[in-house]
Structure 1
Amino acid sequence: MSIFERYLTIWIFLAIVLGVILGNLIPGLFQAIAAAEVAHVNLVVAVLIWAMVYPMMVGVDPASLKDVARQPRGLLITLTVNWLIKPFTMAALGVLFLQYIFADTIPADDAQQYVAGLILLGAAPCTAMVFVWSHLTRGDANYTLVQVTVNDLIMVLAFAPIVAFLLGVTDITVPWETLLLSVVLFIVLPLAAGLATRRRLGNVAAIEAFKAQVKPYSVIGLIVTVVILFGLQGQTIVAQPSVIVLIAVPILIQSYGIFAMGYGAAYALRVPHRIAAPCALIGTSNFFELAVAVAISLFGLNSGAALATVVGVLVEVPVMLSLVAFANRTRARFA
């Protein structure tokens, strides 16, 4: 392991601290970064995520995609957790904590807004970053690609009805430009580049050597992304630390609970670790670009719903890294 991988937890912690500090010292820099977006997809962060996803896409072997059908249990677990469990448990946890347990701390109107943001997060499984988590757990690149693709297809049909049902509103407008642009940026283009790289390298040994060479850049991209994400919200974190913590509580419980459910089911059903780890991680991670975009369009840029989706972004990276570490430590238990 390179120094970036071996001490990744330390680098991420330092990146969080650095992001918050820089976000308060030079907010103009991060405002400029935030302004560089198309359809609510930040182009700077998109480039960094692309760099993180690309090494795993080099590992996608088109000839092996047909073998995914031989391991249907991993995909079944992912779809069950993502669409039949996760949105509803997120809504339940949001109501329980923000409208009851923390009722004396959070005004009722604000609590409703925060719950709405959590619902948007819960109904949007990850599209991009799951490739990074899968890569860090030595996941099956082919299987992860199929999982993400199937989830995106279901999201097109199921996101709006689920959100409308849980929010009790009927005028949910899915920002198709955000969804389509994210799919193109984070799946189509990296996959095309990865396949082109495989053809150019020609053999398995050369491909593995190339992946080893570019992997440190993927980790560096992750660290820089964390700095930017926390820098963008640095002033909010300092101005409203207690609100951030309160909103984070149900998100943390949801994240670890959903992972335990998916990972435990994969273990019980004897799913191989290279499939089990991404299978559990994809349900834990969120498609935050979509959630933030819908929150802004429904409730406004400065709404509590938009703030809750942003808290989801801030919590996600440290949580997912802790789950990646746990998955790597328990690999041997999946015979």
Structure 2
Amino acid sequence: MTETREREGAAVAAKLSTLDRFLPVWIGAAMLAGLAAGRWVPGLGPALNAVRLDGISLPIALGLLVMMYPVLAKVRYDRLEAVTGDKRLMVSSLVLNWILGPALMFALAWIFLPDLPEYRTGLIIVGLARCIAMVIIWNDLACGDREAAAVLVALNSVFQVVAFAGLGWFYLSVLPGWLGLPTVGIEASPWQIAKSVLIFLGIPLVAGYLTRRFGERAKGREWYESRFLPRIGPVALYGLLFTIVILFALQGEQITARPVDVARIALPLLAYFAVMWAGSFALGKAIGLGYERSATLSFTAAGNNFELAIAVAIATFGVTSGQALAGVVGPLIEVPVLVALVYVSLAARRWFTEPDSAPEGGIGR
């Protein structure tokens, strides 16, 4: 059984498209392209900031919306009850995502960055932006429960719209005051933060829901999932790469001028991913979820919505702020770490004894 599962894990990796297999390479190339453009193209920064949407450069705003739409179009919104009946999964996910995750990032930000308040604030915002996009990709690659991932992502999407602003106020202003730590004066009101969430999460969420509803009504689910979704799936990654190029073009001077700061931002992120993923995976096994749902629980708990965090940081503090830079560093760390954890997860399948019926992975599926 163990050998069979290991072979299946290797087969999944072998079936990945070139885009899937070399995703870290494309991310790195996008970063380098952005840095080069910001350094060598005169007047690029002012041109990118000339037109804004809710205080954010229009190219960045479009990139964020394009990146999130295809993933949310994959959600099976009519299958919510199939997973919500698993109280162990639902309760564990809510606790991990909305209590432990933000609290852990808050603690790590203060431990690693006590003297860098802008970066610390940026990381706390990252901790509040729970998984809704790339996590579905990691879950597919790890042969997790695709339906459970879709439900948890949909749940986080709705909860994020409702809770993000309040949690931001609590972790940036209230809790530090209780602990005798410096508080952050947020220029944007909770409604301004909520407005950014509604724009950059609500719009693609509604678009994804309507696309699935009318697409299935017109052509049927088989056509929608086997023909339509594979066509739009890679668009999410193209949007991500485009957004990274623009962000790094705008942040290039800060990144090249402060490599030590970038390294310091990376350290708490590495600790966060390791603790959240390993703890969630172990919890899933301990409460008897089985491999597929344990993998889904761990990736949805460890993953963060850097697109949303970057959007909120830019809208609140500005595109060249330290808070935005902390969000930009996020994908640099998340992609290689979670790709590595996919292989760790596949290797850990031998710890489970339930029959294996995981779907094949891949962005285009």
TM-score, length basis structure 1: 0.79
- The residue type paired with residue 15 of structure 1 is A
Distance in 2 of aligned mates of 1:4 and 1:273: 26
Q: 1:117 aligned to 118, 122, 141, which one? A: 122
Confirm or deny: 8 A CA contact 1:126 1:283 kept in the other structure: yes
Q: 2:113 aligned to 98, 105, 127, which one? A: 98
Distance in 1 of aligned mates of 2:17 and 2:78: 30
- Shift in alpha-carbon separation, 1:206–1:183, aligned structure 2, 3 A: closer
How many aligned residue pairs are there?
322
Distance in 1 of aligned mates of 2:246 and 2:339: 21
In the alignment, which residue of structure 2 is the partner of 1:67?
82
1:178-197 matches, within 5 Å, as 178-197=196-215
Distance in 2 of aligned mates of 1:206 and 1:295: 35
1:230-249 matches, within 5 Å, as 230-249=248-267
- Shift in Å at residue 65 of structure 1? 1.7
- Shift in alpha-carbon separation, 1:192–1:27, aligned structure 2, 3 A: farther
Confirm or deny: 8 A CA contact 1:295 1:309 kept in the other structure: yes
Corresponding position: 1:326 with 2:341: yes
Distance in 2 of aligned mates of 1:53 and 1:227: 17
- Shift in alpha-carbon separation, 1:315–1:296, aligned structure 2, 3 A: closer
- Shift in Å at residue 238 of structure 1? 1.0
Corresponding residue SS for 1:233: helix
In the alignment, which residue of structure 2 is the partner of 1:281?
299
- The residue type paired with residue 104 of structure 2 is T
1:254-293 matches, within 5 Å, as 254-271=272-289, 275-288=293-306, 291=309
In the alignment, which residue of structure 2 is the partner of 1:47?
62
1:168-187 matches, within 5 Å, as 168=177, 169=183, 173-174=189-190, 175=192, 176-187=194-205
1:117-170: CA deviations, max 9, x gaps?
A: 333332333455545555665633244212332343333543322332233249
The runs of 5 or more residues in structure 2 that have no matched partner are 1-15, 178-182, 355-365
Confirm or deny: 8 A CA contact 2:131 2:303 kept in the other structure: yes
Percent identity over paired residues: 28
- Shift in alpha-carbon separation, 1:240–1:158, aligned structure 2, 3 A: closer
- Shift in alpha-carbon separation, 1:121–1:315, aligned structure 2, 3 A: closer
- Shift in alpha-carbon separation, 1:12–1:123, aligned structure 2, 3 A: closer
- The residue type paired with residue 253 of structure 1 is A
- The residue type paired with residue 258 of structure 1 is M
